[in-house]
Structure 1
Amino acid sequence: MKQITFAPRHHQLTNTRTWTADSRWLAFDVRPSGASFTGETIERVNVESGDVEVIYRATHGAHVGVVTVHPADDRYVFIRGPQFPDADWQYDFHHRQGVIAAQGQVRNLDAMDITEPFTPGALRGGSHVHVFSPDGQFVSFTYNDHVLHTLDPKRDLRNVGVAAPFGPVTPAGHHPREYAGTHWSVLVSRTTPEPTPGSDEINRAYEEGWVGNDRLAFIGDTLSVGGEKVPELFIVDLPQDEQGWKRAGNAPLEGTSASLPAPPAGVAQRRLTFTHDARFPGLLNAPRHWVRSNPQASAIAFLLRDDKGVVQIWLIAPDGSQLRQLTHNESDIQSAFNWHPAGHSLGFVLDNRIARCDATSGTVTYLTSDHGNPPSGDAVVWSPDGRYLAWMEEVDGFRQLWVTETGQ
């Protein structure tokens, strides 16, 4: 294993798609550890030479972070906070946007419209953790709503959305914080403030992952019969053409002053896991992880405790069949994880070491030892050629980037 960044500052990897398509560069931001969102640059480091390049530098008081990379092109998508922030409009979950940097230009991904009449294809709040679909055509994100946050913060429920390449979308611009976007953006999940206990209703959708190019899986918070939160796995089938993305269902795509934007017609979420009666119910929020499908879109991986209370990787088919426990470790998996680009193994942190497991047998192989500090659980990411795994590890008080060869 080798350390590839050395500057006395934090280097933050996103949980997936941090490598350029040629497997030579890792993209990162420079936020401090924790919840602070004060980074001013998006950068990349060459894993062979250690050379660092600035991709984008924020201006006008904005901050940036959580960068991911297009699977084929030299394009980067990331969060940008408000430019010219003031007392009424500062960085927050519902005050941020996605932007794409490519060929020296930066464009807004999602449009913003917060004054009625709202604009179909525009959002009314903040998008974040943007990830390209495997074919690079679409971008998933999680979302919080400014309009409902202003009305009642308890009604600003986190949801999952998709930016589709059917823009541009240009709101009328009745508010100085409104702007146009290159993509047509909609929510694809449905939430309700007070789910019926024991039902499939959820009040939060998050930690999504692409299942091929036309489905999206995510974690949704259900309530048990006793009213306890139980995170379960859900999936949605996405529209197949531009008309499908722009066709409203039984509620407006753009939402109303009292309701969230609604998914397009035919987009219905299905629940895949039913763990309410398990000894340890619910998908894990700690370690924080994002559900991930293999490249073949035949198996979705997630973290769940086994009957001994140990955090393991489990797999399920997109139709809800073939649920099985993949790993049978004696100790908890400690991190988010990702699939090898060929789909035959997964990488993660186990026993404070970088490890991979066979996707069929669950056999674990350790790839590193003798870490100075435990690897961060935020991100363990394969290079597109499968040769490397990258992660973060603290050195002298700063998060640095590391890689190890995988032997695959």
Structure 2
Amino acid sequence: MKTITYSLLLGLSACISNESIYMNFSETQLTHAAQGHTIHNTQVFSKDSRWVVYDTRNDDTQIGSTGSIGMVNTETSEVRLLYQTTNQTEAGPGVGAVTFSPTEDRVLFIHGIRNADVSRPYGMTRRTGVAIAIDHPGEPIFMDARDILPPFTEGALRGGTHAHSWSGDGKWISFTYNDYVMEQLAKTDATVRDLRTVGIMMPRHVDVEQDNTLENNSGTYFSVIVTDVTENPKLGSDEIDKAFDECWIGENGYQKPDGSWQAKAIAFQGNVRNGKGETVTEIFVVDLPADPTKAINSRPLEGTLTSRPGVPSGVIQRRITFTANGVEGPRHWLRATPDGKLICFLAQDGRGTIQIFGVSPNGGAIRQVTNNDFSIQGPFNLNPTGQWVAYPADNSVFITSLATGDTYRITDRFTDEDKPVGAPNWSPDGNSIAYNRYVRGEGTDRYLQVFLLRKTD
């Protein structure tokens, strides 16, 4: 394991201050194998900060052709294989986008449907969530149940879950979802589309009748869809035709204006239509009931042959931003401070540069968090205390104080070819940041490797 220790001159953004200070960091390249090592957009560290989990994609579009999940030790660079698919081909089944539970030694990732082949390849409606206990590698735990054959099963889904994220207490999991039944119906009914939505799952076993197709599976969690979408949103309304790239609000929810506490809630990006009929992405919140397993009359949780799964009773969906241009910039997931007071997102500032902004889950004024002379280049993450945000910009990794806007470049500035890729991830102890960038191998080959930035002062 090679570690480079150096003192970085960390200058504050010229738009904030002319100060500069010295801080000591050590940067370690944790992985070296001639393959990809893609870390997810969040929750890649084990609860004790000793391991970073990754999949072996060398490009984020390659989940369908990726066959293994591994983890690397942050102290020794020891690599362990956690899971390997069987009968892996370019068409699937595929694995990727892996996260660590914040409370257990367990990881969770996308797994393509096990019967994948060229006629039934990996796809948005053909994937599910699988977990591995790290002391039992190779033993898959199917989390969300899947049942695409009527009569459908309550608590099971009929499509594909993606980008799983654990709640702060590690008990519930959120995800984005696409529905196979609606996808198939859309082929014969022009009024129907498979619309991306957001769902959650919670511990409760769901049994699904098995057959030899491997299309369906039972699950250890009960799953429901929690966002309402429609094919034709009314212009100027709060209706949406896509819900996506969500986050849990707070470690334990957030406080409402009346002083009451909402224990479980999700913020997500939703596509509305403005008065001109243009698509604008705004921020929405769904408040979740303590028991989200109760259906609304005529809206079964499992859906029907002609309707998508119903949203549970007690779910309240509301829009909290009303902007001219909405969310903008590279794809990213919303992030909320641990106290639940602020939801962060990307948008353009008055100069046309992409910056981080924040809004209360109760709505109201939007405030600008970063104020750089250059645009943010990818997704971001908050540290465990919610005081700092880490993000890629100007071909480097930066951190910014949410309270003051003080901004520091904490890596070298790399070339366009070698710049950081994806989201920097904070460790649970707040002392390290993991990030990806390409490193040249033999010849012209380049592989995504995992790097660790560790505070040393």
**Structure 1 length as normaliser, TM-score?**
0.94
- Which residue does 1:169 correspond to in 2? 206
Q: Over aligned residue pairs, what C-alpha RMSD do you find? A: 1.7
Matched, 1:235 2:285: yes
Query: 1:181: how far off?
Result: 0.6
2:175 & 2:266 partners in 1: Cα distance?
11
- Which residue does 1:357 correspond to in 2? 400
Q: Find the residue that maps to 1:150 and give its secondary structure.
A: helix
1:69 & 1:36 partners in 2: Cα distance?
21
1:407 & 1:305 partners in 2: Cα distance?
34
Q: Find the residue that maps to 1:168 and give its secondary structure.
A: strand
Matches within 5 A, 1:142-157: 142-152=176-186, 155-157=193-195
Query: 1:2: how far off?
Result: 2.4
Indicate conservation of the 8 Å contact 1:208/1:216, yes or no: yes
Q: Find the residue that maps to 2:219 and give its secondary structure.
A: coil
Say which of 326, 329, 341 aligns to 1:282: 326
Q: Find the residue that maps to 1:362 and give its secondary structure.
A: coil
Query: 1:387: how far off?
Result: 0.8
**CA separation of 1:400/1:174 partners in 2, compared to 1, >3 Å: closer, same or farther?**
closer
**Structure 2 length as normaliser, TM-score?**
0.84
Query: 1:196: how far off?
Result: 1.0
- Which residue does 2:15 correspond to in 1? none
1:246 maps to amino acid: K
Q: Find the residue that maps to 1:183 and give its secondary structure.
A: strand
Matched, 1:49 2:97: no
Query: 1:374: how far off?
Result: 4.2
- Which residue does 1:69 correspond to in 2? 100
Indicate conservation of the 8 Å contact 1:392/1:400, yes or no: yes
Query: 1:406: how far off?
Result: 4.2
Query: 1:268: how far off?
Result: 2.2
Bigger radius of gyration among the two: 2
Matched, 1:126 2:168: no
1:236 maps to amino acid: V
2:335 maps to amino acid: R
Matched, 1:384 2:428: yes
Moved more, 15-24 or 87-96: 87-96
Query: 1:377: how far off?
Result: 4.0
Matched, 1:405 2:454: yes
Indicate conservation of the 8 Å contact 2:418/2:439, yes or no: no
Structure 2 regions of 5+ residues with no counterpart?
1-26, 253-263, 441-445
**CA separation of 1:370/1:378 partners in 2, compared to 1, >3 Å: closer, same or farther?**
closer
Query: 1:321: how far off?
Result: 2.6
**CA separation of 1:34/1:14 partners in 2, compared to 1, >3 Å: closer, same or farther?**
closer
Query: 1:227: how far off?
Result: 1.3
Q: What is the number of equivalent residue pairs in this alignment?
A: 400
Indicate conservation of the 8 Å contact 1:336/1:377, yes or no: no
Matches within 5 A, 1:296-311: 296-311=339-354
- Which residue does 2:52 correspond to in 1? 26
Indicate conservation of the 8 Å contact 1:12/1:29, yes or no: yes
Matches within 5 A, 1:331-350: 331-350=374-393
2:330 maps to amino acid: P
1:87 & 1:310 partners in 2: Cα distance?
42
Query: 1:60: how far off?
Result: 3.6
Q: Find the residue that maps to 1:128 and give its secondary structure.
A: strand
| Superposed CA offset, 1:262-320 (max 9, x none) | 11112121101111xx3xx0202x41110000111111110011121111111111111
- Which residue does 2:141 correspond to in 1? 107
Indicate conservation of the 8 Å contact 1:15/1:381, yes or no: yes
Structure 1 regions of 5+ residues with no counterpart?
none
Indicate conservation of the 8 Å contact 1:188/1:267, yes or no: yes
Query: 1:162: how far off?
Result: 0.3
1:223 & 1:90 partners in 2: Cα distance?
33
Q: Find the residue that maps to 1:149 and give its secondary structure.
A: helix
